[in-house]
Amino acid sequence: MKRRLLLVSNSTLHGSGYLDHCQQHISNFFGKDVKRILFVPYALHDRDAYTKTARDKFKTLGYEVDGIHEAVNAVDAVRKAEGIFIGGGNTFRLLKSLYDNKVVTEIRRRVLEDGIPYMGSSAGTNVATASINTTNDMPIVYPPSFSAIGLVPFNINPHYLDTDPNSRHMGETREQRITQYHEEADTPCVLGLREGSLLLVEGNKATLLGTTKARLFSRGKPTVEYDPGSDLSFLLTH
């Protein structure tokens, strides 16, 4: 398995700018061999503005950025890409656009077979997993399937929020919503990535990075907390 993934919970951490909190991880991940990164801005409506944000940031790290929507043919753009970054926004809009542009299968092939690096943040992390069933977003559009790119066999809940004991909010907590998901049969594990955490996948090895713990939800089992630096490779064989 050649896959190399950097799955980030959030692109902007409180008190810092776009991707500032993980920029060293980004540089380590893409390294010196990658010169140009194919950016997928499908999760936001204004794709040009979003691509400019990514382009400006990655330029400071030494990388050129091409927006996939700027290409004549999206599939060809994926076939030629040295590396891929899918940004955050609305997960339903993102996945629908990936299907509409027929790039789901090609991204999967390039990452799993050719070994090109894939980075996702927020919604871009959601679509790298088994399905988008555990996203926090509203279904503003209807993708043909909730099945995602499937670069890992589990789900992720980016921006995972712990229950605030002092809150007067009476709606479901994030934990309750994920538990409801696991009440359905044959549902995979869900890794709750808090703000500031990210998962590095290299082949069959997975490591939790960042500054915050992650919480793992498994169907019919108690939840487990993992510290930054933890080896989560077992999730890749579930």
Q: Which one of 97, 122, 131, 197 is the catalytic residue?
A: 122
Q: Which one of 11, 21, 121, 137 is the catalytic residue?
A: 137
At residue 16, the pLDDT reads: 75
122 among known catalytic residues: yes
Residue 188: how many other CB atoms lie within 10 Å: 21
Quick one: tokens of 169?
């909010």
Per-domain residue ranges for the chain? Answer: 4-160+192-213+226-237
169 among known catalytic residues: no
| Band of residue 169 on the pLDDT scale cut at 50, 70, 90 | low
Local structure of residue 68 (DSSP, 8 states) = G
33 among known catalytic residues: no
pLDDT tens for each residue of 119-145: 999 999 999 999 999 999 999 999 999
Whole-angstrom distance, CA of residue 158 vs CA of residue 96: 19
Q: Quote the radius of gyration of the chain (alpha carbons, Å).
A: 17
CA angle (15 as vertex; 165, 207 as ends), nearest 5: 75
Whole-angstrom distance, CA of residue 158 vs CA of residue 192: 6
Residues 174-180 have a mean pLDDT of 94
Higher pLDDT pick, 166 / 98: 98
Q: For residue 51, which phi and psi values (nearest 5 degrees)?
A: -65, -35
pLDDT over 80 (residue 171): no
Q: How far is CA 186 from CA 189, 190, 205, 220, in A?
A: 10, 12, 24, 11
pLDDT tens for each residue of 2-13: 899 999 998 887
| Band of residue 238 on the pLDDT scale cut at 50, 70, 90 | low
User: Domain 4-160+192-213+226-237 has what CATH class?
Assistant: alpha beta
pLDDT over 80 (residue 231): yes
pLDDT tens for each residue of 60-99: 999 999 999 999 999 999 999 999 999 999 999 999 999 9
At residue 15, the pLDDT reads: 72
Q: CB under 8 Å to 144, separation ≥6 — which residues?
A: 96, 99
At residue 17, the pLDDT reads: 84
At residue 21, the pLDDT reads: 87
Q: Which one of 20, 159, 182, 233 is the catalytic residue?
A: 159
Whole-angstrom distance, CA of residue 179 vs CA of residue 118: 29
Query: For the chain, what is the mean pLDDT?
Result: 95
Q: Is 97 exposed, middle or buried (0-12, 13-18, 19+ CB in 10 A)?
A: buried
